[in-house]
Amino acid sequence: MNQATVTMGLHQPSKSGLGMLMLGAVGVVFGDIGTSPLYAFREVFAEGRVPLSPANVLSATSMFLWALIIVVAFKYVGLVMRADNDGEGGMMALLALASRSVGEQPRLRAGMLAVGAFGVALFFGDGVITPAISVLSAVEGLEVATPAAKPYVMPIAITVLALLFLVQRRGTASIGRFFGPVMVLWFVILGAIGVPQILRAPQVLAAISPLHALHFMASHPHIAFITLGAVFLCLTGAEALYADMGHFGKRPIRLAWFVLVMPALLLNYLGQGALVLSQPKAAENPFYLLAPPWALVGLVVLATAATVIASQALISGAFSAAKQSMQLNFLPRMRIEHTSSEEIGQIYVGAVNWLLLAGVVLTVVLFRNSSAMAAAYGISVSLLMVITTCLTYFVVRHGWHYPMPLAVAATGAFLLVDLVFFASNALKITDGGWFPLLMAAVVFMVMATWRRGRELIGESNRLHSIALPDFLEAVFAHPPPRVAGTAVFLNSVAGITPSALLHSLKHYKVLHERNLFVNVRSHEVPWVAQQQRCEVTALGHDCWQVTIHYGFKDHFDLPLALQGVQGAVGELEPMATSYFLSREVVVPRPGGGMAQWREQLFTRLQLNASAMAEFLCLPSNAVVELGSKIEI
């Protein structure tokens, strides 16, 4: 069985009704894009970037409306969501799908993996700045209610964010059921507070015509180019439509977007435009000034709840991305805890959680207010969208085998829009945009170093190891004593003699009556069907080569997987089965496969990676670890 022929097991969602799936999608998928009205429209006119005139307000409003229609409705809902990987979406799923589609072109595939890995790194950077700007912008509503609250805004925001990360270990199963209703209420309120302003200044409806945006860009190209960086803020969170597709399905997400989310966002942006048309001074904070004074505190509370929910969805997405990256060998092993006995997708990764919290607090302290943070926001997301469009092209061209002109036509216009948004956001680099890019670069370097280090270990094992069939033939020419029970030897490379076996024979001078040489392989599909999980090859003398296949969203549980080989090797009694692992001690050497500092970094990562036994759910009282040194 090779990677291209692994049968994919379809992930079946729960038998919930369409309405419940839509409710869940509103609570999880649309939190980030749904909280963008808090700060996006305000940033267009902040610091006098765009002169306040009726024509400019209409043009900016038109740009917001059509950005949502073109990028979200046309690109993501219309095209990208069609590029599902066995029903799953997200950068890691798209990367796996695209790289698999060009598997016969190794150089292209390697470049694509690098670009896709950088996209995942950008997502982690987004996971730091999104909770910070969302929660801070919500709490800043207190300043509108009373200027006396200004000194307390940042401490309150940090407290809310700290509490959010502190409860992650407990899971979200108990409170997750409230996410959907709260976000439905949020979107209803978004639309409701926009309508009265539209009725007071109905001339804002002229912004529905794209001619206002096009005329503005043609007559004031420089100002329009700068404006696009602020307009792009209304699109942050659009990736979630694709990323969470596997949890809810395409139809519930599409229906939720067109029935509730998109109308609410359009009404709110039209309402903010109408308010600024009639009261230009309202441009300082048009969102909160949409609400009547008596409802302001309640709106701040609801906005804070909505931003916490949006942040929770992104944090959960970061945990999932980390788990998938580990299983595709892009990140070192980290301890994964399952926070729900009913839903395997609810996980907690402590190392990621605390790193995100540290990054979020640093972001709030460094930028101090949401307007300053908006200067840093958008560049990583816009670059991520460019990568998504590029990978989608390879899926359309090589995966779906569409003619090149059609593939270019399907993605080229969207790529042009993405590049213009990215170029506009690039103007923010010196104003703070360097911060998320720096975070993404650090994460990418860790990912690239870990993957290359693991490749070097594999090459070293293949170069210096003995072929397993040849070794067994030599051993059984003069067989050692056999002892009762089953020995499971974990092997990073199939077909070679594991160092744990060599050390075991050297020290114990015996073999078990049954020996399984197990190689665990991750594939670029989300799920591997149970009937395709195990592959067994008899080696003679009650020895077997066993390959266990997993998708990048499967849960690794080796004892459970080995139950599927009992028909071929006999019953595996848990109390009589021992697992032998090689603990690899990496020794960097000058002139190796990586720069010296990267080899040192890989060594540190290797030392701090969680134990393989824990990662594979091996029983701790049945594991024997034997050390071995490997030079890279």
Mean pLDDT of 289-306: 93
Q: 335 and 481 share a domain?
A: no
pLDDT tens profile 38-88: 999 999 998 777 889 999 999 999 999 999 999 999 999 999 999 988 888
Domain stops at, among 432, 454, 479: 432
pLDDT in tens, 592-607: 678 889 988 998 998 8
Three-state secondary-structure class, residue 328 = coil
Is the residue at 627 inside a domain? yes
Report yes or no: 520 and 494 within 8 Å, Cβ to Cβ: no
* 287 shares a domain with 219: yes
**Does the pLDDT at position 264 exceed 50?**
yes
Task: Specify the pairing of strand 347-349 against strand 482-490.
Answer: unpaired
The pLDDT score that the predictor gives to residue 345 is: 60
- Distances in whole angstroms, Cα of residue 157 to Cα of each of 129, 160, 381: 13, 5, 23
Dihedral sign of CA atoms 280, 281, 287, 289 in order: negative
Contact assessment for residue 82 and residue 251, using Cβ atoms and an 8 Å cutoff: no
Total domain count for the chain? 2
**pLDDT over 90 at 232, yes or no:** yes
Comparing 254 with 14, the larger pLDDT belongs to: 254
State mean pLDDT over 558-563.
94
Asked if residue 126 and residue 58 are part of one domain, the reply reads: yes
The better pLDDT of the pair 491, 185 is held by 185
Residues 482 and 382 in one domain: no
Share of the chain above pLDDT 90, in %: 57
Q: For residue 231, what is the domain's CATH number?
A: 1.20.1740.10
Tell me how far CA of residue 49 lies from CA of 283, 290, 412, 573, in angstroms. Answer: 12, 22, 30, 72
**Confidence band, pLDDT 50/70/90 cuts, at residue 589:** confident
Band of pLDDT at residue 16, cut at 50, 70 and 90: very low
Query: Considering only 145-154, 383-392, 402-411, 541-550, which range has the smallest mean pLDDT?
Result: 145-154
Cβ contacts of 235 within 8 Å, gap of 6 or more: 33, 36, 67, 68, 71, 72, 381, 385, 421
Is 483 part of a structural domain of the chain? yes
Mean pLDDT within 96-100: 87
pLDDT of residue 176: 67
Same domain, 408 and 517: no
- 1 in a structural domain: no
pLDDT at 344: 55
Q: Is residue 409 part of a domain?
A: yes
Q: Quick check: is 449 in a domain?
A: no
Quick one: tokens of 201?
A: 């200044």
Would residue 452 count as lying in a domain?
no
pLDDT score at 338: 78
- The model's pTM: 0.86
Q: Are residues 473 and 404 in the same domain?
A: no
> Averaged over 353-361, what is the pLDDT?
94
Q: Residue range 409-420: average pLDDT?
A: 94
Main-chain phi, psi angles of 328, to 5 degrees = -95, 10
416-464 pLDDT per residue, tens: 999 999 999 998 888 888 999 999 999 999 999 999 998 888 888 788 8
**Does 592 share its domain with 479?**
yes
Question: Which residues of 370-504 form beta strands (DSSP E)?
Answer: 482-490
pLDDT at residue 7 tops 60: no
Task: Show which of 384, 414, 432 is a domain's final residue.
Answer: 432
619 has a pLDDT exceeding 90: yes
pLDDT tens string 365-399: 999 888 888 878 888 899 999 999 999 999 999 88
- Measured between alpha carbons, how far is 434 from 106 in angstroms, rounded to an integer? 32
The string of pLDDT tens digits covering residues 141-179 is 988 888 888 899 999 999 999 999 988 887 765 566 788
Q: What percent of the chain has pLDDT over 70?
A: 95
396 and 511: one domain? no
Residue 525's contacts (CB-CB under 8 Å, 6 or more residues apart) are 6, 8, 85, 86, 96, 100, 551, 552
Higher pLDDT, 468 or 248: 468
- For residue 451, being part of any structural domain is answered with no
pLDDT bucket at 270, cuts 50 / 70 / 90: very high
Same domain, 195 and 81: yes
Scored b (16 or more CB within 10 A) or e, 9-28 reads: bebeeeeeeeeebbbbbbbb
DSSP string, 350-371: HHHHHHHHHHHHHHHHHH-SHH
- Could you tell me the residue range of the domain that residue 138 belongs to? 16-432
Sorting pLDDT into bands at 50, 70 and 90, what band is 530?
confident
Residues 169 and 26 in one domain: yes
* Within a domain: 11: no
pLDDT over 80 at 496, yes or no: yes
- At 10, the pLDDT band (50, 70, 90 cuts) reads very low
Q: What is the mean pLDDT of residues 227-248?
A: 89
Whether residue 491 is found in the same domain as residue 603: yes
Residues 180 and 240 in one domain: yes
Pick the last residue of a domain from 383, 417, 432: 432
